[in-house]
Copies of this chain bind each other. A is one copy, B any other.
Amino acid sequence: MMHEADLDPERDLVLVRDLNAPRGLIWRCWTQAEHLREWFVPRPHRVVDCLLDVRVGGACNTTFDVDGTRVENTGVYLDVIPEARLVFTDAYSVGWKPAPDPFMTAIVTFEDLGQGRTRYTAIARHRTIEAARQHRDMGFHDGWGTVATQLEAYAQGLAP
């Protein structure tokens, strides 16, 4: 669980949403490539490639098609607590190879609210105030909000 006190208002961006889907399904959507690719970027953009090795130090790689341009994202998982928390970043690639200029570290938590509902919290942490501002201005809240809606709808269509 992330406590408010842990947040840095100048370097962190936060989205909290209560989703009408059970935590186990939300977890599968986040951790299985064939599911993640269906909701992870705002439509009409698409995930065209995805490699998820969901363990500490494992690959978290995605490739997007954004208006015909391929955008490759290479990263690793820093922490994995099944059905509760994922931490991943572009600051490393597999083998703990540091990236020269990483963009962010994401902490995503899943909390069972009962009755098939899940509190979903996504925190994007940045190295600098400027990077956080840039991410905010790129549309963090709209973008992550849109994909949360896509995630909820896609999870609802999965067999439990």
Contacts and interface: CB of A to CB of B under 8 A. Distances in A.
Interface of A: 6, 8, 11, 56-57, 78-79, 87, 89, 91-92, 95-102, 104-105, 107, 125-128
Contacts of A87: 57, 96
Q: How many copies make up the complex?
A: 2
A78 B8 CA distance: 22
Contact of A96 (B98, B101, B125): B125
A122 to B, nearest CB: 13
Nearest to A91: B91
A102 B125 CA distance: 15
A97 B128 contact: no
Given A57-B78, A78-B57, A79-B57, A105 B98 contact: yes
A105 B100 contact: no
Contact of A8 (B6, B57, B89, B97): B97
Given A57-B79, A78-B78, A79-B57, A95 B127 contact: no
Contact of A6 (B92, B95, B102, B105): B95
Given A97-B125, A98-B125, 11 more contacts: A6-B95, A8-B97, A11-B97, A56-B78, A57-B79, A57-B87, A78-B92, A96-B107, A96-B125, A98-B102, A98-B104
